[in-house]
């Protein structure tokens, strides 16, 4: 597959660039620091390492927000990240909040995706509660592969003030995590949204991230045709079509909610 990892010099430059970005976002907001959700996954781990370095550990707060479907391993990994970095953090169980919301809707049939997305949205609400009370910004953890495929919950994990790793493909996030000194098992950990039991990103999408990264880089960000992408990567045409369709169908998630254009008089 396509190797999108940075050279050593590029990696150092990219780290500096992202850390300056985080400092600028906090300064421009007149904020006193930042808050982020810690899941034990590589995206939030990498973002936490970058932010702790950029802002100082005393200016970053983590929220570990277990749901009924969260694995103990992921939640203890999330706490390990906070403890390794020496940042303040709290653990807040979200399932009672999710249940109260879902049970308040007459006729709710607890659709798996609807409930899962509600978990992501409840986490967003809690992040903003802390941000409002403590004059912090909310750091997002979205990467480029998720952004371009729409693999996130609208107004859930995407409800943030900035995405420091938002222009990095997944393999670049893993490389940066290792460079920052994150534990190897976290840098290499399988991606899971953990919105329902036994969910994995690659299982739900039916494609591995190296394939998604490569198709995005050549065919969505790049200008190779489907046929040229198929030849360059030796992947099925179906995979290219699927990634293109995910990109097209998720445009609404990457834009402000539209309003009708004013009619001409």
Ligand X SMILES: Nc1ncnc2c1ncn2[C@@H]1O[C@H](COP(=O)(O)OP(=O)(O)OP(=O)(O)O)[C@@H](O)[C@H]1O
Binding site residues for Mg(2+), as ranges? 43, 146
Contact pattern for ligand X over residues 27 through 66, marking x by CB under 6 A: ---------xxxx-xxxx------------------xxxx
Considering only residues 236 to 255 of the shown chain, the ones binding ligand DND according to CB under 6 A are: 252
- 């409930």: which residue's tokens? 115
Tell me the window of 60-68, 104-112, 126-134, 150-158 that interacts with ligand DND (CB under 6 A).
150-158
Integer Rg of the chain from CA: 19
CB 141 within 8 A of CB 47: yes
183 sits in the region (left: phi over 0; alpha: psi -120 to 50; else beta) called: beta
Is 157 a residue that touches ligand DND (CB under 6 A)? Answer: yes
Considering only residues 167 to 196 of the shown chain, the ones binding Mg ion according to CB under 5 A are: 192
Is 193 a residue that touches ligand DND (CB under 6 A)? Answer: yes
- 């927000």: which residue's tokens? 65
Is 164 a residue that touches ligand X (CB under 6 A)? Answer: no
Considering only 146, 210, 213, 230, the residue that binds ligand DND (CB under 6 A) is 146
Q: What are the tokens at 112?
A: 């798996």
Measuring CA to CA, which residue among 220, 190, 224 is closest to residue 204?
A: 190
Considering only 53, 192, 211, 242, the residue that binds ligand X (CB under 6 A) is 192
How far apart (Å, rounded) are the C-alpha atoms in residues 165 and 184?
A: 19
C-alpha distances out from residue 196 to 45, 65, 95, 150, Å: 21, 14, 12, 18
Considering only 89, 152, 169, 209, the residue that binds ligand DND (CB under 6 A) is 152
Contact pattern for ligand DND over residues 46 through 85, marking x by CB under 6 A: ----------------------------------------
Sheet holding 136-138, edge to edge: 88-91, 60-64, 33-37, 136-138
Considering only 63, 120, 165, 182, the residue that binds ligand DND (CB under 6 A) is 120
Is 164 a residue that touches Mg ion (CB under 5 A)? Answer: no
User: Between 226 and 253, whose beta carbon lies closer to ligand X?
Assistant: 253
Measuring CA to CA, which residue among 46, 44, 185, 235 is closest to residue 127?
A: 44
Residues in contact with ligand DND by CB under 6 A are: 113, 117, 120, 146, 151-154, 156-157, 193, 195, 201, 204, 252
């Amino acid at each position: 597959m396509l190797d999108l990892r940075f050279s050593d010099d590029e990696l150092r430059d990219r780290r500096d660039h992202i850390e300056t970005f985080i400092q600028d976002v906090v300064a421009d907001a007149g904020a006193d620091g930042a808050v982020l959700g810690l899941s034990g996954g590589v995206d939030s781990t990498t973002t936490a390492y970058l932010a702790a370095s950029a802002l100082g550990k005393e200016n970053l707060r983590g929220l570990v927000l277990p749901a009924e479907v969260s694995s103990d391993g992921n939640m203890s990994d999330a706490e390990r990240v906070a403890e390794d970095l020496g940042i303040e953090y709290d653990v807040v169980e979200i399932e009672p909040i999710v249940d109260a919301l879902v049970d308040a809707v007459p006729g709710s049939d607890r659709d798996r995706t609807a409930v899962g997305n509600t978990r992501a949205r409840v986490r967003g609400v809690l992040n903003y509660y802390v941000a409002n009370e403590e004059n912090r910004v909310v750091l997002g953890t979205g990467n480029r592969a998720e952004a371009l495929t729409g693999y996130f919950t609208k107004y859930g994990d995407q409800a943030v003030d900035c995405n420091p790793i938002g222009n990095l493909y997944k393999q670049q996030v893993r490389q940066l995590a290792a460079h920052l000194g994150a534990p190897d098992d976290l840098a290499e950990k399988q991606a899971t949204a953990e919105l329902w039991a036994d969910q994995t990103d690659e299982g739900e999408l039916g494609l591995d991230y190296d394939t998604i990264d490569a198709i995005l880089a050549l065919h969505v960000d790049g200008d190779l045709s489907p046929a040229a992408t198929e030849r360059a990567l030796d992947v099925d045409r179906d995979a290219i079509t699927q990634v293109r369709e995910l990109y097209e169908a998720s445009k609404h998630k990457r834009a402000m909610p539209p309003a009708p254009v004013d009619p001409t008089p």
